[in-house]
Amino acid sequence: MAERYDALVVGAGFAGAVVAGELARRGGKKVLLLERRDHVGGNAYDRKDRFGVLIHQYGPHIFHTNDQRVFDYLSQYTAWNGYQHRVAANLPDEGGSPAQRMQYPVPFNLTSLEAAFGPEEGKRLGDKLIAAYGAEKKVTILELRQNSDPEIAALADYVYDHVFVRYTMKQWGQKPEDIDPNTTARVPIFLSRDDRYFQDKYQGLPTDGYTPIFEKILAHPGITVETSCDALKRLKLENGKVLLDGEVFDGPVIYTGQADELFSFRFGPLPYRTLDFEFETWVDRAMAQPLPQSCVAMSEGGDFYQSHGTVNYTVDRPYTRITEFKRMTLQELPGVTTIVKEFSKPYSAAPGEIPYYAIINPENNALYAQYRAEADRYPALHLLGRLAEYKYYNMDAIVSRALTLADKLLGE
Ligand code: FAD
Ligand code: UDP
């Protein structure tokens, strides 16, 4: 006879793994977790590439949070490397020759102002912004563009043109004013010298990577994980009941995949953006003769490709950003480094494409609400996670939501 489970979880990203772990550990439940990919970790999955460089297969992931519960929870499974994320905007230098480029911190801050306008003028403009908004304040680009002072308005236009409009066009195919304002608000103008990308109390990368966190959470006798398993081939939703392998499943079902797919796209597909990742490995010329296939030679004695963990190409280039993993993982590996370039495009559901970003707007939210209402007809079904909730959640928000759902399911 088939094994009986108390709970079914679909998806082994942070949402699914955390709920499964908590139901098993705190609740003593028997949990079946089905994951479509051939590994756990969802989009936070990392692994060593063939050169030994620890890479994030689905794009750079930097953990940051102010949520004590989330930090304490994850710290049971990992130590942190203390990395503080810093990002540089890289753009053509309008004052120099066409080949020259300049870099300054993003979020655009007092240091960026001085790099863009020169120390004196930059300082004067910075003082003016501080007088208008206050020191150490964060102002979104859309707010700054509302300012009627001609000098601040001109400055807002500069930042809009040099940091936001072309990056946002690449990432979303739309202008900043046409996308959800919360999206550009993630990277506000910061009236500070603090050049970190995030100001959260806790930030860093897990010392051994993200994947071991998932392996540890899921290594519990109460949890059965099946990878390379598309749950939708085994699930059926019928008359308010969830069926697994043809039998009514008697327990909570936590679904962390796409809401539209769960209901066979009956109201139409939810729009998403996807990414193409181009990985490149650079090897010190002196260390590798001949160069391994698919490697690019770096100058002799070179260990790194770029100055920052991430460099954003805010004006030109077809990709949005380049991330160099070693700068973030702090892995010590002389003479070799792997980078990734991100190219954004509309999600088309082609085989192998992954829906990375929900496109939040009133029309898409209304479409999502139809799927949500459908899900509400199944009392055992819980939609959880960045895909299932059609939201732009960071990892910490997902972990928090997963812990809260586990509390609820365990009656705590
Ligand atoms: P996912 O990680 O997407 O997991 C869902 C899982 O469900 C997947 O493994 C999927 O294969 C599986 N699944 C779906 N359908 C089925 C099915 N039918 N059957 C079986 N399995 C199924 N957050 C940060 O905090 N910091 C960052 O720096 C950061 N960087 C990011 C960079 C990129 C490029 C992206 C796309 C996201 C980034 N995030 C970052 C967000 C982070 O990835 C998410 O918050 C987190 O991964 C969400 O976890 P989740 O479990 O909801 O979803
Ligand atoms: N953004 C931008 N220029 C930048 C950085 C960000 O225009 O140099 C905008 C862009 O619209 C982007 C959004 O701010 O999608 C959020 O940026 P974030 O770095 O948080 O995006 P993520 O890491 O989630 O892709």
From first to last of its 412 residues, what are the pLDDT tens digits of the chain?
Answer: 467 999 999 999 999 999 999 999 999 999 999 999 999 999 999 999 999 999 999 999 999 999 999 999 999 999 999 999 999 999 998 877 777 899 999 999 999 999 999 999 999 999 999 999 999 999 999 999 999 999 999 999 999 999 999 999 999 999 999 999 999 999 999 999 999 999 999 999 999 999 999 999 999 999 999 999 999 999 999 999 999 999 999 999 999 999 999 999 999 999 999 999 999 999 988 876 677 777 888 877 789 999 999 999 999 999 999 999 999 999 999 999 999 999 999 999 999 999 999 999 999 999 999 999 999 999 999 999 999 999 999 999 999 999 999 999 999 8
- CA distances (Å), origin 266, targets 140, 354, 359: 37, 20, 19
Does 188 sit in the ligand 1 pocket, CB within 6 Å? Answer: no
Does 57 sit in the ligand 1 pocket, CB within 6 Å? Answer: no
Question: Residues 273, 344: contact at Cβ < 8 Å?
Answer: yes
Q: Minimum-distance ligand to the CA of 230? A: 1
Question: Residues 337, 281: contact at Cβ < 8 Å?
Answer: yes
What's the 361 CA to ligand 2 centre distance in angstroms? 17
What's the 79 CA to ligand 2 centre distance in angstroms? 28
| Residue in the block written with tokens 């051994």 | 208
Helix (H), strand (E) counts: the chain: 13, 22
Q: What is the pLDDT of residue 235?
A: 97
Does 183 sit in the ligand 2 pocket, CB within 6 Å? Answer: yes
Does 171 sit in the ligand 2 pocket, CB within 6 Å? Answer: yes
Is the whole-model pTM more than 0.85? Answer: yes
Question: Residues 168, 179: contact at Cβ < 8 Å?
Answer: yes
Residue of 61, 211, 353 best suited for mutating to test ligand 1, as the one with most atoms within 8 Å of CB: 61
Does 147 sit in the ligand 2 pocket, CB within 6 Å? Answer: no
Does 145 sit in the ligand 1 pocket, CB within 6 Å? Answer: no
Query: ∠ CA 270-276-281 to the nearest 5 degrees?
Result: 155
Question: Residues 257, 375: contact at Cβ < 8 Å?
Answer: no
Does 393 sit in the ligand 1 pocket, CB within 6 Å? Answer: yes
Q: Minimum-distance ligand to the CA of 272? A: 1
